[in-house]
Amino acid sequence: MQIKFGYRDNFLCEIRPTGELCSEYMCVDCGKAVIDAQNLKHKEVNDLCREAMLNDVTDITINNVFGQRYIGTRLYNPDKRPPVTITINKFPGNDLGVFLDGHRIIVNGNAQDGVGNTMNDGEIVVHGRAGDVVAMAMRGGKIFIRDNVGYRCAIHMKEFRDKLPVLVIGGTAQDFMGEYMAGGVVVMLGLNLKDGEPHRANYIGTGMHGGVIYLRGHVEPHQLGKEVGVRELDEKDWRTVQTHVHEYCRHFDKDPAPILTGRFIKLLPVSRRPYGNIYAY
């Protein structure tokens, strides 16, 4: 079995040149572009997006997306162009908006894993559910998910002074939500839970040492990480929650009043150095 098989490139093989794709799959019309992503590979979709941005387009619509990855990432440009709005119809793939720096993405469908991974600035709105590690290591910007999310969301979120990331989830999450959070705001509304049904996540906020989670609904103490404390909301907290809930409702056409009457609790870290005692110096 000493056979040299060499290398098979699964990502970059058979990528068609951007020029050829432009004529077939994209149509540009005074600042707006429409891309049909049916059968386009991951890199090809992103090549077209970048091409559109370089041609001064600020509104891109991508149709027939089935699993294409990294949409919104290739738009980094140090020339400080105006931010682009990308509307995605159907179902984007993993790492939507990874390293996003200031643009807006709207998804009319479900998203997969890694939405807003290490996002620096911008906005992502998903009219559906999302997968695992949403807002992982997020440093700024806003993400709104209408329904539920998976494991390890908002893991290691960070903030610094006025750069504050926000994640608003309409439904509930699975385990390890807010793991190792160092900053940022998470608002989880639990809108699809029945009355009195607790959120299902376990190990919420394990390792949390910064930031805050506003939870609407009920959790048992054993569902929380040992670094997490539960508090009632004060004036400032209420104002924050109201702002984010209003914005959520604007995106998804819902009424904020019944949401705001629900019971909210605040989860925050009880210690800044949860691991200060595990090492022998």
Q: Which is nearer to other proteins, 12 or 30 (CB)?
A: 12
- Residue 167 near residue 186 (C-beta atoms within 8 A): yes
Q: Which is nearer to other proteins, 162 or 255 (CB)?
A: 162
Cβ 231 to other proteins, closest distance in Å?
18
- Residue 247 near residue 168 (C-beta atoms within 8 A): yes
**Phi, psi of 48, deg, nearest 5:** -65, -40
Computed from CA positions of residues 18, 24, 25, 31, in that sequence, does the dihedral angle turn out positive or negative? positive
Q: Which is nearer to other proteins, 147 or 237 (CB)?
A: 147
Cβ 259 to other proteins, closest distance in Å?
19
**Phi, psi of 17, deg, nearest 5:** -65, 145
Chain length of the chain: 281
Cβ 135 to other proteins, closest distance in Å?
11
Tokens of 30: 């005074």
Q: Which is nearer to other proteins, 22 or 130 (CB)?
A: 130
Cβ 253 to other proteins, closest distance in Å?
21
Q: What CA–CA distance (Å, rounded) separates 73 from 212?
A: 27
Of 233, 116, 131, nearest in space to 173 by CA:
131
Q: Which is nearer to other proteins, 139 or 244 (CB)?
A: 139
Cβ 270 to other proteins, closest distance in Å?
13
